[in-house]
Structure 1
Amino acid sequence: MRCGRRAGRLPPVERDLISRLAHADHPIAAPLGDAAVTALLNRALPRGDEHILDLGCGGGEWLLRALALAPDATAEGVDVSEAALDHARREAAQRGLADRLTLHEQDAAAFTPDQPPDLVLCVGSTHVFGGLLPALAAARKVLAPGGRVLVGDGYWERDPSPAAVEILGDLADLPTTVDTVTADGWVPVYGHISTRHELDDYEWNWTGSLAERAPGQLATATEHRNEWLRVYRDCFGFLTLVLTPAG
């Protein structure tokens, strides 16, 4: 979730630092395990030679795993965080993927690629666009004919408290979320509902990694953990979908 919606309450430099440290042990910045990430990417990349665009790529982990799975694919990522993009470049070089990855430091909502992507990724960063439907609209605008979108966003598993809405935003329940996507002209061809283990593992890593690596941010880690355990753990879920345009 790339530091989540709560990140908007922090200055950009502090937000970038906290996000990088908090995701050090869980580089997929969303509540998904490795097996789920691989399964989603395999369904999203049926040919293996696609051009991929990540709108809000953060440290680039989705793109790096996609390139590792699809040796003939190319990718580009967009993010406003210079530190996150520098991390992505270092990781790409270490994994031998740098020649197939291009990164852009700019607002994902204003980015137009030179080459229409066959796959658009936007997992845990729909808030950059103002929500799920605006993110899908941005993806549709640049997507190549016959392309796919891999999008991930939160939903309410049960009625949230006002405090949970304040922290995570105005989400819908799971059926309504899927209905909203299909009514917008998309066909789900695959999906993953994050398990309780994936959701908890993400939060334990977020809070623990930050506390361990930045003792000066212990109060931030503690606040996040308390919000998770006391406010939204029992009502928040996360859905990731592979979509194709209808018609």
Structure 2
Amino acid sequence: MTVSDLPPRLGSLTFHGPLSEDRAGRMIARVAAASPATVLDIGCGWGELLLRVLEAVPGSTGVGLDINAEDLARGRDLAKERGLAERVEFAEESALGTSHGPADAVLCLGSGQALCDPGQPYDPGVVLRELRRLVRPGGRVVLGEGFWVRSPTDGELAAMWPGAHEGDHLGLGPLVDLAVESGFRPAWIESASREEWEEFESGYRYDTELWLATHPDHPLADETRERVDRQRSSWVNGYRDVLGITYLTLVPITGT
């Protein structure tokens, strides 16, 4: 079986998250306004946002950390295509306790788990304290973090990821308050729209759904179909309109 026999992965996504072109452009402009010389991307995937920040700030350099070799290879290819290969490093390594940084700008979009001990419950406080450690004075952090739009019902929790419970996330207010307690001022607070979620969730599965429709008898079809159906159901029957993602542009408080 060759690579070409396998279903494609995430080829229809520009960003690995519910993020529109317009919102990304505004976020990048706010980061670029601080003229960061160094940029660190935690859980970068293929580093689309990282590359765009580097394009917006001539002379800046960046490091993207992730443990997915396929995504990192895609990022390196994108960097070459854009003439950025000499200014960015894509490192296949864990971000837990990373020695990369401090940096002038730190990106962490939907990847807070990369900064937490996998043997412990997920804690956004740990994420925020690590981000505070990794950003230089006067720098910027862009954090994409999940929050409950409203309290999920028992039925919705049962339809989400295995073991989902209400303590998995905070509400938006408590999350922003925690950012302040962790040594930041929230310079900008925004949340993904329903349209951004739908673009992401559908794009996440689009190529694989097309593959399943045309390869129903493939040796990997049953396994792939089960996985994709489970993913889709967790969204439409579980966290749709319940789980949000906020994008916080954070500025470290001087002296903390």
TM-score (ref. length: structure 1): 0.84
Deviations 1:205-240 (A, max 9, x none): 112233235653232222111111111102111101
- Give the conservation status (yes or no) of the 8 Å contact 1:36–1:192: no
- Give the conservation status (yes or no) of the 8 Å contact 1:76–1:104: yes
Shift of 1:101: 0.5
Deviations 1:20-44 (A, max 9, x none): 81x3211311111011111111112
Q: Distance in 2 between matches of 1:202 and 1:167?
A: 21
Out of 203, 216, 231, the position equivalent to 1:224 is 231
Q: Relative to structure 1, is the Cα distance of residues 208 and 36 closer, same or farther in structure 2, using a 3 angstrom cutoff?
A: same
Q: Which amino acid aligns with 1:53?
A: L
Range that drifts further, 44-53 or 78-87: 44-53
Shift of 1:175: 1.3
Q: Distance in 2 between matches of 1:182 and 1:196?
A: 27
Q: Distance in 2 between matches of 1:37 and 1:74?
A: 19
Counterpart position of 2:106: 120
Alignment of 1:74 onto 2:33: no
In our comparison, the structure showing a higher alpha carbon Rg is 2
Number of equivalences: 228
SS of the equivalent of 1:103 reads strand
Q: Which amino acid aligns with 1:187?
A: R
SS of the equivalent of 1:109 reads coil
Alignment of 1:51 onto 2:38: yes
* Structure (1 or 2) with the greater helix fraction: 1
After TM superposition, the structure 1 = structure 2 runs for residues 45-194 of structure 1, keeping only pairs within 5 Å, are 45-113=32-100, 116-130=102-116, 131-161=123-153, 162-163=157-158, 164=160, 166-167=163-164, 170-194=168-192
Q: Distance in 1 between matches of 2:78 and 2:171?
A: 36
Percent identity of paired positions between Structure 1 and Structure 2? 30
Counterpart position of 1:241: 248
Q: Which amino acid aligns with 2:144?
A: G
Q: Structure 1: where are the runs of 5+ without partners?
A: 1-16
Q: Distance in 1 between matches of 2:17 and 2:190?
A: 12
Q: Distance in 2 between matches of 1:47 and 1:182?
A: 20
Superposed CA RMSD in Å reads: 2.1
TM-score (ref. length: structure 2): 0.82
Q: Structure 2: where are the runs of 5+ without partners?
A: 1-5, 117-122, 216-220
SS of the equivalent of 1:110 reads coil
- Give the conservation status (yes or no) of the 8 Å contact 1:192–1:239: yes
SS of the equivalent of 1:239 reads strand
SS of the equivalent of 2:96 reads helix
